[in-house]
Amino acid sequence: MDVINKNFDGMTQHNYDIVYNNNCTQLVDSWKVVDFINSGTFGKIFQVINSYTNITGAMKIEYIGVEFALLTNEIDHIIYIQNTLINDYNFKNSLRYLPHIFDRGSYADGSIFCVMELLGPDLLQLKNRQTSRQFTLWTSYWLLREMIRAISGIHYCGFVHRDIKLANLCIRKGHNEQRSLVLIDFGLISQDSSCFHDYYDNLKGKTVGTLCYSSCQSQLSKSKPTFIDDLWSIFYVSLENFTGTLPWKNSNDKNLVYNMKMNLNLVNLQNSGFHVPHVMHEIFALLLNPNEHKRMYLHDKILNLIDEELQILEFNDYLLLDWEINSNN
């Protein structure tokens, strides 16, 4: 498995300007822009093909002058984590949850780009394609397990993703890779303050993440990022998958959401008619207990609890996931 085609210490400079026109085929370095994918406050994403190798990819361009420049931080960390994991026997399998990086560079105007592998749909898109706009029980269990596995390698390397949600998890393209989950959007990544006393965070002092799924701790002023933040995000995403909603789902009030999360009672939620699996109660108790907050030990403990419940329910990996059922129809 290729981690990256080139080893970059810095950015490749190109002394020409690029006009980003969605309606015209253009050549950006050796990458031919063939389609527009998405845009945001950071810049734009295009589907591209390499003029020499015919490799297709997704080019992310971050314009000069964006309020929070995140792309360099994102790519540097992905490459560092990949190069760390590829040499580690115990965590080498975690590489499969990271996107392949093909190229990176910068332009005369200061804008920067990165070319990653072109992925399939994200999990939010797949969820919204379901008739009920909801994942089934088996798929929700599978995603809970895979999200823990996906984040384990990142936490092992001493980093915190800080924005885990369905929209930042994609399935690889190809019929045989419908179970290949990839975590994306590493722009908010930080060193784990529980691993590094003088931790590096290019957004230090700012609250980050998606309010609905972020941990309570991460939304406090002067919060210090730890792996527990990501595990809380996985918990909230999974709770929504299992129950169909979150009590604070439609609120943008940070104080209200914080208080609702702090006062979350799974028994009351279940008594209100929502299905909350036993394993979610167990994970909730572990996350609330600081004595259990031991990096990697906690991940293994959660994975064991999930596997035990899957055995009791007689769920196994031969069962089709929701998007596999739809693709076979």
Q: For 151-207, how does the pLDDT look when each residue is reduced to its tens digit (9 = 90+)?
A: 999 999 999 999 999 999 999 998 788 899 999 999 999 999 999 988 988 887 777
β-strand pairing of 159-160 with 112-117: unpaired
Which DSSP letter does residue 24 get? Answer: S
Closest C-alpha among 18, 59, 23, 19 to residue 39: 59
| 8 A C-beta contact, residue 6 and residue 98 | no
Q: What is the pLDDT of residue 26?
A: 59
Let me know if the fold of 13-117 is the same as that of 123-328. no
Owner of token pair 């008739």: 131
Instruction: State the burial class of residue 208 (Cβ atoms within 10 Å of its Cβ: 0-12, 13-18, 19+).
Output: buried
**Segment 270-299, tens digit of pLDDT:** 999 999 999 999 999 999 999 999 999 999
Residue 285, φ and ψ in degrees, nearest 5: -65, -40
| 300 SS3 class | helix
DSSP string, 152-211: HHHHHTTEE----SGGGEEEPSSGGGTT-EEE---TT-EE-TTT-TT---TTTTS--S-T
| 8 A C-beta contact, residue 165 and residue 233 | yes
Radius of gyration of the chain (CA): 20
**Segment 260-276, tens digit of pLDDT:** 999 999 999 999 999 99
Closest C-alpha among 146, 74, 127, 105 to residue 10: 105
The residue among 4 and 210 whose pLDDT is bigger is 210
- The answer to whether residue 131 scores a pLDDT higher than 80 is yes
Which DSSP letter does residue 291 get? Answer: G
| Residue 37 to residue 48: CA distance in whole angstroms | 10
Fold for the domain defined by 13-117: Phosphorylase Kinase; domain 1 (3.30.200)
Which DSSP letter does residue 107 get? Answer: E
**Segment 84-130, tens digit of pLDDT:** 999 999 999 999 999 999 999 988 888 999 999 999 999 999 999 99
- The answer to whether residue 6 scores a pLDDT higher than 50 is no
Is 123-328 CATH 3.40.50.300? Answer: no
Taking the chain, what is the end-to-end CA distance rounded to the nearest angstrom? Answer: 32
Domain borders along the chain are 13-117, 123-328
